[in-house]
């Protein structure tokens, strides 16, 4: 186990003593024959955060996290690293605000540098109707103490003179800003939670793919894996992107379709964009990494897929969105692009709930916004797994909400997952 | 992706709009005693197949026809393309 606290003093000491004192950040474990109180299926950000909060908040340390590849190899390593809590609906906003508060204290809590940077996020406004809608959303954010500011066109132009303010189709009239939003070093989130959980006694088991669930008398009693059967009193699935494939092994169909979301990074530039900018009507959002690359993305490819790659039409669409709003990117070369599989739910909002199988729990449906939710998702899932009750900010994330007509549809587009 | 339209030949998938799995063709009977549950399944629950998926594509920027495309969701390989009209008639509907 690591149990090594990181500090400036420690870095200095190791520098002077040949770096011999560093240890692996987490313990690579094998499954225990005696089984576990809780098994988390999926060693991504949400799964590792769940294990960490189970141990830290609820004292449940006999926990295993099973990961079919290596931890952080899924969406926590494939996103655009943005954090924000700028939602409209009461089912969502308090949850994402809890997440933001956990982000703000994450590094102190984990003693791990996750490079949380509250550089701010700005949603551009192009019409009177959009301004009304965003100011309504700003009021919803203020109710949840998330903070929100309205910037007029001049204030936007002062900060980012390269934006195409007078665009013929979408002139910029202003922006909704959340100064507390920003970016986080995504891989470090997985590693930090893994280290925190491992230090508290959680077994992190990599290269362990779940091939089935053992279900006796309607209760889940463990999982079948390529490392043999593993017993558990309770199993929490947390594999967004692969939710359909994994839950099918328990005979459960979900209100979810799997789609691919592509993301892009350019060659390194000098500092030019110290904020996250979203150009919603043009399906483009952008920030600049500490290495200088512009990181941007847009819409999903809009057809069901489990392949972690998209197609070229969306690349063209996203890049033309970028050209429309910040024409200065035209000479910049794309360095890399990649795709991640996302759980698109029927109303664009996630699930943290029990299932029809006893002792089998489900966390998924994060659409393209799971990264920012990582801390609160783990926090609330751990609360549900430990206490049998949903956390107070996650009570709306039930699997049966469509049956009850209680959708949480931020965009109001109805049950068409590729439009959320 | 290139969709081999039965009438128009190979067309870029950009000309099409994707709806979803072919199950969406089979609207439940509203008079059934189990209609509420049937419509919940129809509207909100997805099989979300990993493998060959039969799905509905609409040729919006073409001849406005609905196609049933059999496509592998793991590789994007398109295995077959049929007119949705033909599939529907084969199921005994009038159109």
Given this model, what pLDDT does residue A4 score?
A: 83
- 8 Å CB contact of B12 and A418: no
pLDDT one-digit tens code per residue, B25-56: 999 999 999 999 999 999 999 999 999 999 99
> What would the mean pLDDT of A292-302 be, rounded to a whole number?
95
B40, A402: Cβ pair inside 8 Å? yes
Per-residue model confidence (pLDDT) at position A2: 55
| Nearest one of B83, B85, B72 to B1, comparing CA atoms | B72
Dump pLDDT digits (tens) for A7-63. Answer: 999 999 999 999 999 999 999 999 999 999 999 999 999 999 999 999 999 999 999
A302 contacts B43? CB cut-off 8 A: no
Mean pLDDT, chain A, integer: 96
| Residue A3: per-residue pLDDT | 73
> Closest approach of chain A CAs to the CA of B17, in angstroms?
9
Compute the radius of gyration of chain A from its Cα atoms. Answer: 22
pLDDT confidence tier of residue B95, bands split at 50, 70 and 90: confident
- Tell me the three-class secondary structure of chain A, residue by residue: CCCCCCCHHHHHHHHHCCCCCCCCCCCECCCCCCCEEEEEECCCHHHHHHHHHHHHHHCCCCEEEECCCCCCCCHHHCCCCEECCCCCCCCCHHHHHHHHHHHHCHHHHHCCCCCCECCCEEEEECCHHHHHHHHHHHHHHHHCCCCCEEEEHHHHHHHCCCCCCCCCCCCCCEEEEECCCEECCHHHHHHHHHHHHHHCCCEEECCCCEEEEEEECCEEEEEEECCEEEEEEEEEECCCCCHHHHHHCCCCCECEEEEEEEEEEEEECCCCCCCEEEEHHHCEEEEECCCCEEEEEEEEEEEECCCCCCCHHHHHHHHHHHHHHCHHHHHCCEEEEEEEEEEEECCCCCEEEECCCECEEEEECCCCCHHHHHHHHHHHHHHHHHHCCCCCCCCCCCCCCCCCCCCCCCCCCCCCHHHC
Residue A1 above 50 pLDDT?
no
Going by C-alpha positions, the residue among A25, A333, A286 that lies closest to residue A162 is: A286
Residue B94, pLDDT > 90, answer no
Interface-testing mutation among A306, A312, A417, with chain B (most B C-beta atoms within 10 A): A306
Tokens of A247: 């839950």
Residue A333 predicted with pLDDT over 60: yes
Is B46–A244 a contact, with Cβ atoms under 8 angstroms apart? yes
pLDDT in tens, A336-390: 999 999 999 999 999 999 999 999 999 999 999 999 999 999 999 999 999 999 9
How much is the average pLDDT of A90-96?
A: 97
A415 and B43 within 8 Å at the Cβ level: the answer is yes
* Percent of chain A surpassing pLDDT 70: 100
Identify the closest residue of chain B to A415 by CA–CA distance. Answer: B44
8 Å CB contact of B44 and A305: no
| Distance (Å, whole) CA A376 – CA A83 | 12
Measure A224 CA to nearest chain B CA, in Å. Answer: 20
Q: Is the pLDDT of residue A243 over 70?
A: yes
- For A311, the closest of B1, B46, B50 (CB atoms) is B1
Instruction: Give the CA distances from residue A188 to residues A139, A194, A366, in Å, rounded to whole numbers and listed in that order.
Output: 33, 9, 20
Percent of chain A scored above 90 by pLDDT?
A: 97
Provide the H-helix boundaries in A144-258.
153-159, 186-199, 243-248
Q: Is A245 on the interface with B (CB under 8 A)?
A: yes
Three-class SS of A275-306: CEEEEHHHCEEEEECCCCEEEEEEEEEEEECC
Read off the pLDDT of each residue in A97-110 and give the average, rounded to a whole number.
Answer: 98
**Could you read off the pLDDT of B67-93 as tens digits, one per residue?**
999 999 999 999 999 999 999 999 998
Residue A338 sits at the chain B interface (C-beta within 8 Å): no
Q: At what angle do helices A186-199 and A370-387 cross, to 10 degrees?
A: 20
Kindly list the residues from chain B whose CB atom is less than 8 angstroms away from the CB atom of residue A346.
43-44
Q: Does A356 touch chain B (CB under 8 A)?
A: no
For range A223-230, the mean pLDDT:
97
Among candidates A325, A343, A173, which has minimal Cα distance to A257?
A: A343
Q: E strands along A126-199, which residues? A: 149-152, 174-178, 182-183
Kindly identify which residue of chain A lies nearest to residue B57, measuring between CA atoms. A303
Q: Which residues in chain B are contacts of A415 at CB distance < 8 A? A: 43-44
ipTM above 0.90, yes or no: yes
Report yes or no: B81 and B6 within 8 Å, Cβ to Cβ.
Answer: yes
- In percent, the amount of chain B with pLDDT more than 90 equals 95
Helix (H, G, I), strand (E, B) or coil at A401: coil
């Amino acid at each position: 186990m690591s149990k090594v606290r990181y500090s400036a003093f420690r870095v200095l000491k190791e520098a002077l003593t040949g770096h011999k004192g560093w240890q692996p950040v987490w313990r690579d474990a094998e499954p225990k024959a005696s089984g576990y109180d809780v098994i988390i299926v999926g060693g991504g950000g949400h799964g590792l955060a769940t294990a960490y909060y189970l141990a830290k908040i609820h004292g449940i340390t006999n926990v295993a996290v099973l990961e079919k590849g290596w931890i952080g190899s899924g969406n926590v390593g494939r996103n655009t690293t943005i954090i924000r809590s700028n939602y409209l609906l009461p089912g969502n906003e308090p949850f994402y605000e809890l997440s933001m508060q956990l982000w703000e204290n994450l590094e102190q809590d984990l003693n791990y540098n996750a490079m949380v940077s509250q550089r701010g996020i700005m949603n551009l406004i192009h019409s009177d109707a959009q301004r009304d809608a965003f100011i309504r959303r700003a009021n919803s954010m203020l109710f949840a103490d998330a903070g929100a500011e309205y910037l007029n066109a001049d204030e936007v132009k002062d900060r980012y003179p390269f934006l195409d303010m007078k665009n013929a189709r979408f002139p910029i009239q202003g922006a909704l800003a959340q100064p507390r939003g920003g970016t986080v070093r995504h891989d470090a989130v997985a590693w930090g939670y893994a280290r925190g959980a491992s230090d508290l006694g959680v077994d992190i088991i990599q290269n362990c793919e779940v091939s089935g669930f053992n279900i006796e008398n309607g209760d889940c009693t463990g999982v079948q894996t390529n490392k043999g059967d593993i017993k558990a009193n309770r199993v929490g699935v947390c594999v967004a992107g692969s939710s359909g494939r994994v839950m099918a092994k328990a005979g459960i169909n979900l209100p979810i379709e799997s789609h691919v979301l592509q993301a892009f990074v350019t060659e390194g530039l000098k500092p030019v964009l110290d904020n996250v900018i979203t150009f919603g009507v043009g399906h483009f959002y952008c920030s600049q990494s500490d290495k200088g690359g512009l990181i941007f993305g847009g819409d999903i490819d809009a057809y069901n897929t489990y392949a972690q790659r998209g197609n070229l039409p969306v690349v063209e669409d996203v890049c033309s969105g970028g050209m429309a709003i910040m024409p200065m990117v035209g000479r910049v070369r794309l360095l890399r692009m990649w795709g991640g599989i996302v759980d698109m739910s029927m109303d664009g909002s996630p699930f943290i709930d029990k299932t029809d199988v006893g002792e089998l729990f489900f966390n998924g449906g994060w659409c393209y916004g799971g990264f920012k939710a990582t801390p609160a998702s783990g926090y609330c899932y751990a609360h549900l797994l430990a206490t049998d009750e949903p956390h107070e900010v996650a009570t709306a994330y039930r699997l049966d909400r469509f049956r009850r007509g209680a959708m949480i549809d931020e965009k109001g587009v109805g049950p068409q997952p590729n439009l959320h | 992706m290139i969709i081999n339209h039965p009438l128009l030949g190979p067309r870029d998938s950009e000309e099409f709009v994707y709806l979803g799995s072919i199950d969406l063709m089979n609207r439940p009977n509203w008079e059934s005693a189990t209609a509420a549950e049937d419509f919940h399944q129809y509207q909100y629950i997805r099989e979300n197949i990993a493998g060959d998926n039969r799905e509905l594509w609409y040729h919006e920027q073409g001849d406005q026809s609905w196609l049933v495309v059999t496509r592998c969701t793991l590789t994007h390989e398109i295995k077959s393309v049929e007119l949705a009209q033909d599939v529907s008639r084969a199921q005994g509907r009038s159109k």
